[in-house]
Amino acid sequence: MPLLLGSLRGKFVFWMSAVFTISLLLAFGAFRSVSDTIIIALGDRFAEKQALYDKSRIRAPVQKEIVLARKMADSVVLQRWAEAENDPQLKASALKELDSYRQYFFDGSVSFIIDKSGHYYFNNKHDDFSGQELRYTLDRAAAEDHWYYQIRQLSFPYTLHVAPDQHLNMTKMWVDVPIHSASGQFLGLIRAGIQLKDFINDFIRNNEDGITNILIDGDGAIQAHPDSSLIDMSSNSNPHAAHFTIFNLLNLQDDHIELQAALDALRMVPTQVQTLYLTIQGERKLVGIAYMPDLQWFNITVMDIDTLLGEHTFTPMFMVLVAALLFSLLAVAGVLQFFVLRRIAGLDSAARKVAGGHYDVQLSNRENDELGRLASGFNNMAATIRDNTAKLEHRVAERTAELQRVNDQLALKNKQILDSIRYAKLIQTAILPRSDLIARYLQDHLVIWLPRDVVGGDFYFLHPAQDGSCFLGLVDCTGHGIPGAFMTMTAHAVLRQVLSESDGLPLSSILALMDERLRQTLQHTSEGDALDYGMDIAICRLNTGTLEYAGCGIDLCLVKKGASSVIKATHRGLGYRLNPRKVKPIEIHHIKFDEQCRFYLVSDGLLDQDGGDDGFGFGRERFLNQIAGWADLPMNQQQTLLVELLERYRGQRVQRDDITVFGFSAKNLSPDEGI
């Protein structure tokens, strides 16, 4: 034992075993003391509710048969026929009356017995005996017909019993209702019922395991039972014969007395339910009994308490075991606190201090167990960390100073680069036409110029011609950012030079000349060293009432009378390496316009910008639909709406390319100096 308790694990095992054993014994004792009481209480309550439920479930169809049969017995048509059976007119009316009632009975069949002749009329739900309803004639001397003459002597408004009809070859739970004349003379019998097999399957046999329903009459004779061999078939047909009763199933005489007392009590107070334990066919069962005074039958619900309660019986045991386990856990927690957690808390506090940079901690290691040895190891580790940390801090300080110096150099270089790019943007902005010049030639216009980076490869232009017209358009150079900006400077210089020399030339010739000049500017003589850079362009010459357009890669969109359309550009670029097979003639378009016409030049950066829920491009169709819808709005308002629409569509996605939109409508051209 001292060796066991000298180990921390041994202490845990010893105390946990002791606490668990004590808790288990307490839980077992508590379970034994309360389990029987709980089972009995739950069983009685369940038996009472089940008996009431079965009473209601069984009584309803039988009561329906009784009510319908009694209503049928009040039929004047049937009473007249019973008094004059041979009258063909009365017979036809009565058979029709029988057939009208028949379909409302449970199994769709009904019988009518005329007392004078003993004739037994019957038809079933399939109408098999239509025209042949007279099935047989009762014989007072025949034993199988004795039941009728017994019932005839009774004064009850109806009788219930289970019996076979050998003539009809069927066994039913019969409802027999006498029919009388207005003067009280007995005329015959209305006979309805439910096939015994159907009655047992639908109302007596319980689908829940452990529950059996039994119907008995006032004398205890079994009228319905899942085992049809136990049913008494002679309770009414032969009252003097020995009957098979519920008492035949009881094994103990005391149970006979107790059951009879329960039946008598229910006759006194029919609304109550009696519950008791009986030994039936050798097994102890819980029995719930309910009385149906209108049927003068008792419903007995027999329950196997072990099957029904089953695992639920062990709920108290589980609760006690949980309580015992909780007690055990609390005890274990106390043991852990005393022998382990208290010392681990000190170790944890020391570890936090070391983590916070305080390495001069010292733990007590007086106890010779695992935690004591752990404390000694921790003290050694803290001393090692203290020494290594001092060395590491010195090295880190040296490295930090070096990194700071390099970072300062990078920050300076980055600032110089950004300053250069910002200055480049000022230069690039300077090549764009001034707003006052645009407003002078195009009094209604919009301009959206959004480089992807600080600078970009798109620009728009407006150049007055000497003949009073003016050139305007949009250029999309290869690349974006700084490379694109260099291209715009080159392209703008070539464009300015060509336009200054080409006032009278067609637009196709102007673009061809620009293509040649740009190729000469960009490419070297050696094909291997050539830069395959170039640009797309849309150029317009604006005269009063007429717009001349030619494009290479950039279409002209226009809105006229509220409808949008596109004039396609020639599918080629300018300034790229010459390939005769790809050189296409440049088309020129002349467009008559009025003050309501709106023209738009759009770079592919807008049309290709991805966005929306699916990440698709903005697209030409979306753009055309929007400008058509804005046809009546001023250009400056359209500019605001288009920028907002683009921002919403793009959402959190990055801008893919430079975006430029140049829209205008021509009004009152007034020539002025060029750019």
Q: What is the pLDDT of residue 675?
A: 39
Query: Would you list the DSSP string of 495-512?
Result: HHHHHHH-TTS-HHHHHH
Q: What is the pLDDT of residue 535?
A: 94
Q: What is the pLDDT of residue 622?
A: 94
* Across 38-47, 134-143, 211-220, 533-542, least confident range: 38-47
50 exposed, middle or buried (CB, 10 Å; 0-12, 13-18, 19+)? Answer: buried
Q: How confident is the model at residue 671 (pLDDT cuts 50, 70, 90)?
A: very low
Residue indicated by tokens 């929007």: 626
Calculate the average pLDDT of the chain: 83
**H or E segment and range at residue 351:** helix 342-355
pLDDT at 668 over 70: no
Q: Are 150 and 237 in contact (CB under 8 A)?
A: yes
Domains annotated for the chain, with CATH where assigned, are: 74-192 (3.30.450.20), 199-313 (3.30.450.20), 432-665 (3.60.40.10)
Kindly state the average pLDDT of the residues 98-120.
90
* Across 591-600, 614-623, 645-654, 659-668, least confident range: 659-668
Kindly state the average pLDDT of the residues 529-538.
80
Q: How confident is the model at residue 295 (pLDDT cuts 50, 70, 90)?
A: confident
- CA gap 304, 577 in Å, rounded: 99
Q: How confident is the model at residue 674 (pLDDT cuts 50, 70, 90)?
A: very low
- CA gap 384, 606 in Å, rounded: 64
Query: What percent of the chain has pLDDT above 70?
Result: 83
From 473, 521, 495, 403, select the one nearest 664 (Cα to Cα).
Answer: 473
pLDDT at 672 over 50: no
Tokens describing residue 258: 């107790």
Q: What is the pLDDT of residue 242?
A: 60
From 174, 236, 167, 226, select the one nearest 200 (Cα to Cα).
Answer: 226
610: phi then psi, degrees, rounded to nearest 5: -80, 155
Q: How confident is the model at residue 488 (pLDDT cuts 50, 70, 90)?
A: very high
- CA gap 120, 98 in Å, rounded: 13
pLDDT at 338 over 90: no
The string of pLDDT tens digits covering residues 260-281 is 888 888 888 888 888 888 888 8
- CA gap 550, 538 in Å, rounded: 6
pTM for this prediction: 0.45
Q: How confident is the model at residue 236 (pLDDT cuts 50, 70, 90)?
A: low
- Name which residue leads in pLDDT, 649 or 8: 649
Query: What percent of the chain has pLDDT above 90?
Result: 28
The string of pLDDT tens digits covering residues 364-392 is 666 677 766 776 777 778 778 877 877 88
Q: Are 539 and 498 in contact (CB under 8 A)?
A: no
Residues whose CB is less than 8 angstroms from the CB of residue 667 and which lie 6 or more positions away in sequence, other chains included: 442, 443, 444, 595
Q: Report DSSP state, residue 553.
A: B
The string of pLDDT tens digits covering residues 614-642 is 889 999 999 999 999 999 999 999 999 99
Strand, helix or coil for residue 197:
helix
Kindly state the average pLDDT of the residues 548-558.
96
Sign of CA dihedral 410, 413, 418, 419: positive
Tokens describing residue 438: 């645009």
The string of pLDDT tens digits covering residues 595-615 is 789 999 999 999 999 998 888
